[in-house]
Structure 1
């Protein structure tokens, strides 16, 4: 814990983490809010899953592009433009009674314009701390983001069930605007310049660790999305149980990240963490009871933040600084495609077989998440005792003064 306390004492770290968490809080709210909103209007989990899938596909397509644009036009210009468009689309979903097809189109626009806050902040981090602090910082960030998945689902479910699904989406959009403005106004966003990449778009995928991180992130988030839809299907609209269970799940991830995220990263690190996730999800589908689900998803959660910390670290250590934003954009794309497919597959299986069908999908996807880093462990860099900072570009670049 001392490493994390020292990190928070580093100038700017606590502020930049808080700002980006606020800007990204809608990520933990919108999935449930939109799911409940569309299901309530059209009385179909499959329809709701399709709208979530369209939103996630939009985010997936935009991720590498908007991240790369930050090296061309600067972080602030890209973040402001995407913030305005995405917020407008979110409020349209909340306030306009649309058909499923129109919901999907607006959701796609919202996804395409999602502000690239996550690639931006993870590109900034290596310029704010020394090399020894970077792995603990990635772990702290992965753990802290679980606040999004603790507060977000609980708040979205409570507002949607007790007041209205429309208000739940409006609140999420408001957090996007306020948090995005706070993050954009942070000095680091203006002081760190991402060099224009000299390589062609997509060339960063020639780095095997980036591909490994992208595929594993796709499977991790895919299984998580299937679980999220399944939990909502179990408890329905009758109370806050779904949000509470998902919040407990996120608490497990927070605890896991703070407890194990700072451990040395060897070639088996990702497979071991994914195994924890799989075990918890596989056991969760045995008995669809509130306490059983809460305990088993707590177990699954223990592996999530540590897995994300490994993903961030192996990407950082494998690419040049000018390529980091695009690399994280591709990793985000993998995760968002996983979210799209996970939620859509779970939605159809729930309509056909009940909530247990969604949990089966989650367990199978998580099992693949263990298999991939096991088979491709030679692509996993051994970072034990090594500097996980990005490879320097030749020539001068702008950095933050320490």
Structure 2
């Protein structure tokens, strides 16, 4: 059968499946009123969970690096138990979760665009984008459209408390707006250009800086660290572009301004590769504070934060600020020189991770225990 006929037949079959499933989105609070598929979240009583969250009961055959990836696996699987549930929900709105929910509601449109949707979900959650991928521009446009419209019409990520609402409740309004409108931009990005173009151009310009001689990138694969030395703070979608396969980023900006971050890749269960556990940063912060001569102090977030930062604190950042791009928050100057800071960070993690082999599917209890064992070993050296 010619390829074009085969593709046409597949599309007709998918349309029949799409019509037969007749799924609908329901707010998270209503998930127990009917059999419900839970995406990018966890909940007791779900008919099926499709999430990459650490410890989520996603069926082993459907595990994926992103929750949208698990949804796409489920749509291609031979009738996974629970996939026939008519309701779909999530307890928050973000790019990955939205793409997973939308794909369950529109499998006939989602599966032909699987590679693109996977790329967009990875960009949305891990902020990684392979600029050489022929679909990279399209994925970036989709994500920028989602981000821009969310900011314009609703509240920013992690901003629900500011409007005195719970995220699982308030995010339902975002799903209600985006679900019927996304297909048009997926199939023809030009329909959403007015919304996505400003952020898209900003990211592309920052990506050019990352790929230029102005930026130096050093990788330490034995500890999963990438050091990005670049003149100015940059948007995450550009900054984290060259960090795929790594879980920690040390950003060295001009003027001796720095940030260290554990990527979201170590908050979730990655399917594609093993990882090292997050470690508490008390000792590293104490070492840096002993060397710091400015009035500021090195501070850090806990290991269960979605993206823990270690940085010189001029003021306390809100969760919204920490999730926002580095070029949208103040980064004070340090007295520590870049090469010295890099040596301290690399030495700290080399010593700690020397006794911890990487693996998949860490529990939070195991991550905490690994941190305690690394502390004991170092204190006895």
TM-score (norm 2): 0.28
Relative to total residues, which structure has the larger helix share, 1 or 2? 1
**Higher RCO (C-alpha under 8 Å, 6+ residues apart):** 1
TM-score (norm 1): 0.27
Relative to total residues, which structure has the larger strand share, 1 or 2? 2
